[in-house]
Amino acid sequence: MIFAAIIIVIVLIVGISFYNGLIAKRNQVANAFSAIDAMLKKRYDLIPNLVETVKQYTNYEEGVLTKITSLRTKATSGQLNNEEKIDLDKQIGTAISGMMLTVENYPDLKANQNFLNLQSTWTESEEQIAAARRNYNSSVTTYNNAIMMFPGSIFAGMLNYQPFPVIEISAEERKNISAKDLFNS
């Protein structure tokens, strides 16, 4: 009788700890995504200034600048789900990277201190977001492993926990950022 009670208590303790562990891992994923979100917001704040400065010094395609501005407006609307946020961030990143490379043709802009500050802040935020994405992916992998492996899979089934997709990291992002590519210096 005592033996059975001990077994039940052990099973209960193990069960509760697995259950709590799963919830903690799921919360960690949400937490990791909110870190990305916060960094994206910080980065979006740079866009109006960046676009204005580029406008002043170059005849860079008006259409592209308008597109960047409208993407930013959409990104900061607060009505997007996580996947849409990541997708929009990719579009904004690509558009800004293209713009950054084109400024090579504008020596006046390249010499502008305000622009240089914005450019290095942008690059810094890119690197920070890349780090936050890797942190998110690490949390997702830990969570996915936990819900797919026994005995976590039992609780995951009961709680209807589904695996999260990891954020794909582009080949450009894996590659080291080169100062030469960015500043041609």
By CB under 8 A, name the binding residues for another protein: 35, 117, 120-121, 123-124, 127-128, 130-132, 134-135, 137-138, 142, 174-179, 182-183
Phi-psi region of 135 (alpha: psi -120 to 50; beta: other; left: phi over 0): alpha
User: Which value, in Å, is the radius of gyration of the alpha carbons in the chain?
Assistant: 23
Q: Which is nearer to another protein, 102 or 121 (CB)?
A: 121
Instruction: Give the CA diameter of the chain.
Output: 86
Q: Which is nearer to another protein, 79 or 175 (CB)?
A: 175
Q: Is 182 exposed, middle or buried (0-12, 13-18, 19+ CB in 10 A)?
A: middle
| Residue found by looking up tokens 């960047």 in the block | 68
Task: Give me the least distance between CB of 159 and another protein, in Å please.
Answer: 24
Comparing CB distances to another protein, the nearer of 33 and 155 is 33
Q: Dihedral of CA 132/44/110/181: which sign?
A: positive
Measured from the CB atom, is 27 or 73 closer to another protein? Answer: 27
Report in angstroms how near the CB of residue 76 gets to another protein at its nearest.
21
Q: Quick one: 84 or 124, whose CB is closer to another protein?
A: 124
User: Min. distance of Cβ 34 from another protein in angstroms?
Assistant: 11
Shortest Å distance, C-beta 4 to another protein? 28
Closer residue to another protein in complex, CB, 3/174: 174
Q: Are 143 and 31 in contact (CB under 8 A)?
A: no
Counting Cβ atoms within 10 Å, is residue 110 exposed (0-12), middle (13-18) or buried (19+)?
middle
Closest distance of CB 30 from another protein, Å: 14
| Min CB(177)–another protein separation in Å | 7
Q: How far is CA 74 from CA 31, 68, 87, 106, 140, in A?
A: 23, 10, 12, 29, 26
